[in-house]
Structures are given as structure tokens and as C-alpha cells.
Amino acid sequence: MEKLYIIKIGGNIIDNAHLLTKCLTAFSSIQGQAILVHGGGKLATELATTMGIEQTMVAGRRITDEATLKVVTMVYAGFINKNIVAQLQALGVNAMGLTGADGNLITAHKREVVNIDYGYVGDVDVVNYELINNLLSSAIKLVVAPITHDGKGQLLNTNADTIAQKMATGLTKHFEVHLVYGFEMEGVLTDLQDPTTLIGFMNKVQYENLKAQKIIFDGMIPKIDNAFLALEGGVRSVIIGKAEKLNQLINSTAGTTIKI
């Protein structure tokens, strides 16, 4: 079965031109099929702050009111997505940038209010795997922004870690899928200030214990939750680590390898 690498990048990698280029250069060297899913939280937060739009995060997830939705759409689907695509084209990669609304790639529903009203945040319903397969078979590498739609004309801000997981899990029917979560840390750390506290391998029991002790910070929780969902859904491997070390992460010589 053909290999497919789904790479999710976020954090300060998006804001640092040098590190982003290093990551994209590594991405361009991937042999075979590859999809890049990106976030862009810091840049969106900075722009929103400049515009006087207050931002609220809960457990690593952004509360998205109407004004914030406009900002994240401009930043994620606009500047960041097209900047990445342009850089990949310069590296000889025939890349195509998409949101969930393009080609009906990802439909979602507005998250129901239980204890927290997340606003215009979407939870994924359907991924258009046929479209993905058609594009991949045409030797196109996809760059996916975390904006989805509800099929009724409403855009929704959707967690990029979740999008990467949903794509990875569904595509296991067609590929041997490997999922990499790249961000600014070496991987899962027990001390955020000390990269030597990297956890090389982590299973679910260890994760639950560390979470209960509040050792794992909020922004990491969605990544790890999605990592276990991906593995349970048939994804061959999941690794979390520094985005600029993408080659090492793919070869399992860096980062944290998540195991069931």
C-alpha cells in the first residue's frame, strides 16, 4: 500500500520565515503522497489584537465570534495558505491550497453549546476523500487551511489538529498513513522550559496520568487526543515534535512517538 504523509504545522513555525522555509524544504523532499495541514494561531491572535478584537482560548481552542471568524478566515485561508503554496511552488512542488469549502472538501457543523459557547467553531462531519484521492493521483500536494463550512453558506473555524486526524483516519482505506504534528517544541515535555525533558514514547496510560497531574499544557491536549484517535482509526504512526525537524520526525529520530 502506498505511503501517505499528513503533516500538520502550527505555532511559531508559521511566524518564523526561516523555520517555515526549513520545514517546507523538508516537506518538498517527501517521496510519494503528502498533505500539509496548517494552523496559524499566533498570527491570527496578533492581527485580532491590533484590530481590538478580544481573543479567548479554552483548553487550547479559540472562542470564535463573528469578528474573530473574519480574522481567522483572512489569515488562515488567505495569507498563510497562499504564502505556503507559493513557497512550495518555488521548491518545485505542485501544491494546491484549499479550505474545507473548496470542492466541498470538509463539511462540519457548528459546535453545540454544552458548558462553553465556542461560537463559529466547527466539528467535522464529512471529509471528501474522493476529491483528495483525485488530486493526489494528479501528483498534487495539498495545503489545507482549517476553515470548513456547514453546507448552508456558513464558514467555521475548525481545529487543524482535528482536521489532520480526520483526514488521516479516513484515508487509511487507501494508503499507509503516517501523521506528524509539527510545532515549536521538541515534542511532549514534562517541563516546557527544558527540552531535555522530552518524552520519547508515550502511551495512553502515561498521557492520562500526566494530564491528571497538569503536567501537559492546554495547547498540547488537542494534539495528543487526536493522535490516539488516529492510531485507533488505523493510522500507522503518529509523531509530535519540532516542525523544522520534519525529516527526523518522519524517520522517527526526533520528537515524541505516540503509541496506543
Distance between alpha carbon 30 and the CA centroid of its chain, in Å?
18
Judge whether residue 120 has pLDDT over 80. Answer: yes
**Chain position carrying cell 527526523:** 248
Pick the more confident residue, 61 or 106.
Answer: 106
Task: Identify the CATH number of the domain in which residue 108 sits.
Answer: 3.40.1160.10
Range of the domain at 41: 3-258
Question: For residues 231 and 76, what is the distance between their CA atoms, to the nearest angstrom?
Answer: 27
pTM: 0.94
Q: pLDDT, tens digit, for every residue of 122-132?
A: 999 999 999 99
Q: Are 141 and 93 in contact (CB under 8 A)?
A: yes
- For CA atoms 19, 25, 186, 33, the dihedral sign is positive
- Give the per-residue pLDDT at 57: 82
Provide the edge-to-edge strand list for the sheet that holds 122-127: 122-127, 106-110, 147-149, 155-157
Tally of domains within the chain = 1
| DSSP helix/strand/coil, 126 | strand
| Residue recorded with cell 464529512 | 126
CA 193 to chain centre: 23
* Residue 248 pLDDT > 90: yes
Q: What is the rounded average pLDDT of the residues 251-259?
A: 95
Provide the pLDDT for residue 59: 67
DSSP 213-237: TT-S-GGGHHHHHHHHHHHHTT-SE
- Find cell 493526489 and name the residue: 136
What are φ and ψ of residue 221, in 5° steps?
-60, -50
Q: What is the mean pLDDT of the chain?
A: 94
pLDDT tens digits, 218-234? 778 888 999 999 999 99
Q: Please give the Cα distance from 2 to 242 (Å, whole number).
A: 25
Rg (CA), the chain: 17
Q: Do 42 and 10 form a contact (C-beta atoms < 8 A)?
A: no
